[in-house]
Amino acid sequence: MSFISFPLRFQNGFLRRTSEADAILGLLRLMATTPGGSWRGSKSFGVRDVFEKARTQPDAPKTAMERMNSVLVELGITGYRVESIVQEAPSNRDIDQYVVTIVSTVASESSRSYSMALTP
């Protein structure tokens, strides 16, 4: 099954399609920039507030990972889960950057992982 990428974009009059993993990573990117509880479709959607408190709460990446995984399950996306969120060494003191890694939960693809840089 092919997925439509987030955010929706038209290309030559058609919605652009993407891989399943890229669509999930795009969804997680949206979650990272959305405040918690601001989407009616899911009260758990959005972890921007978690990342905003990351400098004073060292367990913020773990909390964000748990919330992201619960939203994926809530939305019926069971083929992937967030395996880790790791803060990168800061190159700029004003901007925090993280690496989010997802893994496939499908038995035949259990070793596949995908990562993206995230600046919430």
Phi, psi (rounded to 5 degrees) for 84 = -160, 155
At 74-115, the pLDDT tens digits run 988 999 999 999 988 777 777 888 999 999 998 777 678 999
pTM across the whole model = 0.82
Q: Is the peptide bond before 35 cis (omega within 30 degrees of 0)?
A: no
For residue 2, is pLDDT > 80? no
Q: Report if residue 95 sits inside a domain.
A: yes
Question: What's the domain count of the chain?
Answer: 1
At 8-52, the pLDDT tens digits run 666 777 777 778 888 899 899 999 999 998 888 888 899 999 999
Q: Report if residue 15 sits inside a domain.
A: no
Which candidate, 43, 53, 34, 31, places its Cα nearest to that of 100? 31
3-state class (DSSP) for residue 91: coil
The pLDDT score that the predictor gives to residue 47 is 94
Q: Report if residue 112 sits inside a domain.
A: yes
Residues in a beta bridge with 100: 85, 116
Measured distance CA(86)–CA(100) in Å, rounded: 7
Measured distance CA(26)–CA(43) in Å, rounded: 19
pLDDT band per the 50, 70, 90 thresholds, residue 1: very low
Tokens 């690496």, located at residue: 99
For residue 58, is pLDDT > 80? yes
Domain ranges, residue 54: 3-10+20-118
Which candidate, 8, 42, 40, 39, places its Cα nearest to that of 23? 8
- The CATH number covering residue 97 comes to 3.10.450
